[in-house]
Chains A and B, each alone.
Chain A
Amino acid sequence: MKYLDEYRDPELAKSLLAEIHRITTRPWTLMEVCGGQTHTIVKQGLDEALPEGVRMIHGPGCPVCVTPLEQIDKALAIAARPNVIFTSYGDMLRVPGTDTDLLALKARGADVRIVYNPLDALKIAKDNPDKEVVFFAVGFETTAPANAMAIAQAKAQGIDNYSVVVSHVLVPPAMTSLLDSPTNQVQSFLAAGHVCAVMGWTEYEPIAEKYRVPIVVTGFEPLDLLEGMLMAIRQLEEGRHEVENQYARAVKREGVPLAQKQIFDVFEIGDRTWRGVGEIPQSGYHLRPEYAAYDAETKFEVGDIHTLEHPACIAGQILTGEKLPLDCTAYGTLCSPQHPLGAPMVSAEGTCAAFHSANRGLDARRVTV
């Protein structure tokens, strides 16, 4: 496919890796923010091909993983109601809540439907005026324009039986939260290319300046990632800390203004809890007061949620890059994509799932368990 295949060329990958080896004189620790990037890095073994001492830490950019347990339990409580059609992106269905997940609810008779585009959820609401249609509006800045459009269209078209459970998170506050941590090891970031396609990169400039960290806006193909790593390491080696754009074919400095306008027509920024990480100030979108009628949490009054994580799961430390899946006693034993204990094992963007699908460390586990 055009704009994909040419960025997977093994010969060019070899050149990029050689150049990374050539310019690297010291150990460096980089973080790729986005789970999609983690998936490619682990699947292709790019991290294992880097010079000794250069380490990739896998970041928290997995929307499914960081959606707080409380929001999942609320979604489950709403989905279980008799008159509700609950709609969601497919990868939320197997994320474990405290007691169950959406797929299990569906098996027990709840009307849970997968949608690819939130406008499809809106169409379901239009076609089923006697039902309440609820959409699980999760994701980073990438999904926000789509989720915002569906809500704005519900209002514009007077579709009152559509509402949303919102759990939107933002990348820049998560990066500063990591950098503020006393245990932070990250010296440079590969910023998430598609988040920046929407939002641009001006928000990252003060972060690079204040924390003196190079930030490279990076794409998702193997060559994009290797070039992003090369640009980040070159900055580190030269003592620079700028925002650079590797993913120029898709990202402009100002992003996509029309998408940003739609986001801020519907949402406002507020505090948000990240699963496994805790509350990060000003790190999420909430519905603006003029869209309160579309808030499923108030429409269905789901109070009194008592959440409980599985005691063996170390998802929080995985998400912040403090630990690797191989550090978890449950990885590949109690916890697998078939029986996930935590969200990072569910999503294609989760670090645990990326390790598991690349078969990392699984043979040893099978021998010892």
Chain B
Amino acid sequence: MCLGIPGKVIELRDDGAVLMGKVDFGGIRKEACLAYTPEVQLGDYVIVHVGFAISKVDEEEALKTLDVLAQMGDVVSQELETMGPGMAEPAVLNDDGTPASGALTGGAEAGA
């Protein structure tokens, strides 16, 4: 029920009662109520939950998070080489670094 998915606003429509629109989720287009995010423009991304946009995705913050993770990756790869015994390879990954069976292929399907 708490499925919240990011999608791109491709249509805005004020039908008199509430602000509605169409949101594209990777090719699947759905009606959504945009009344709580009236600032959205065409092309913005929103997180849609039970047919309502509950948040506008902040592109700058999204990129910042990925940047921080990527930078940490560089530091960590140096660290990894110095790791001693007992620091087991994470079980979620195979020896060659690829995801183990079922790992990191799906992601959240729901969320409160």
Q: Residues on A close to B: CB < 8 A?
A: 1-4, 6-19, 21-22, 33-37, 39-40, 43-46, 48-49, 61-64, 89-92, 116-120, 138-140, 142-143, 145-146, 149, 153, 156-157, 171, 192-195, 197-198, 219-223, 227, 246, 248-252, 256, 258-259, 262, 347-349, 358
**Which of the four size classes fits the interface of chain B?**
35 or more
> Closest CB-CB distance, B56 to chain A, in whole Å?
8
- Whether A1 contacts B6 by the Cβ 8 Å rule is yes
Chain A residues positioned under 8 Å from B92 (CB to CB)? 13, 17, 44-46, 48-49
**Nearest chain-A residue to B59 (Cβ)?**
A249
Contact residues, B35-67 vs A (CB, 8 A): 35-38, 45, 47, 49-52, 54-55, 57-59, 61-62, 64-66
Q: What CA separation (Å) do A348 and B2 show in the bound complex?
A: 10
- Whether A250 contacts B109 by the Cβ 8 Å rule is no
Q: What CA separation (Å) do A44 and B77 show in the bound complex?
A: 22
Describe A's contact surface by its main secondary structure: helix
Chain A residues positioned under 8 Å from B90 (CB to CB)? 13-14, 17-18, 21, 49
Q: What CA separation (Å) do A129 and B41 show in the bound complex?
A: 36
> Closest CB-CB distance, A79 to chain B, in whole Å?
18
Which of B2, B37, B92, B102 has the largest number of chain A CB atoms within 10 A? Answer: B2
Chain A residues positioned under 8 Å from B66 (CB to CB)? 6
Nearest 10 CB-CB pairings of A with B: A117-B51, A36-B111, A220-B108, A34-B112, A1-B26, A249-B62, A36-B110, A3-B6, A49-B90, A15-B73
Q: What CA separation (Å) do A361 and B74 show in the bound complex?
A: 37
- Whether A349 contacts B2 by the Cβ 8 Å rule is yes
- Whether B38 contacts A139 by the Cβ 8 Å rule is no
- Whether A21 contacts B87 by the Cβ 8 Å rule is yes
Q: B4, B36, B102: which contacts A220 (Cβ < 8 A)?
A: B4
- Whether B72 contacts A15 by the Cβ 8 Å rule is yes
- Whether A35 contacts B2 by the Cβ 8 Å rule is yes
- Whether B107 contacts A7 by the Cβ 8 Å rule is yes
Chain B residues positioned under 8 Å from A153 (CB to CB)? 17-18
Chain B residues positioned under 8 Å from A48 (CB to CB)? 91-92
- Whether A139 contacts B4 by the Cβ 8 Å rule is no
Q: A3, A13, A146, A250: which contacts B104 (Cβ < 8 A)?
A: A13
Instruction: Add 17 more A-B contacts to A1-B6, A118-B50 (CB < 8 A).
Output: A19-B79, A22-B87, A34-B2, A35-B112, A37-B108, A39-B110, A44-B102, A91-B1, A119-B51, A140-B112, A149-B52, A194-B47, A197-B4, A219-B108, A250-B55, A349-B1, A349-B112
Q: What CA separation (Å) do A21 and B36 show in the bound complex?
A: 41
Chain A residues positioned under 8 Å from B70 (CB to CB)? 12
Chain B residues positioned under 8 Å from A194 (CB to CB)? 2, 4, 47, 49, 54-55, 111-112
- Whether A146 contacts B33 by the Cβ 8 Å rule is yes
Which of A63, A89, A227, A249 has the largest number of chain B CB atoms within 10 A? Answer: A249
- Whether B1 contacts A139 by the Cβ 8 Å rule is yes
> Closest CB-CB distance, B10 to chain A, in whole Å?
13
Asked whether A2 and B45 contact (CB < 8 A) given A14-B90, A145-B36, the answer is yes
Q: What CA separation (Å) do A7 and B111 show in the bound complex?
A: 15
Q: What CA separation (Å) do A91 and B50 show in the bound complex?
A: 12
> Closest CB-CB distance, B71 to chain A, in whole Å?
10
Q: What CA separation (Å) do A256 and B72 show in the bound complex?
A: 31
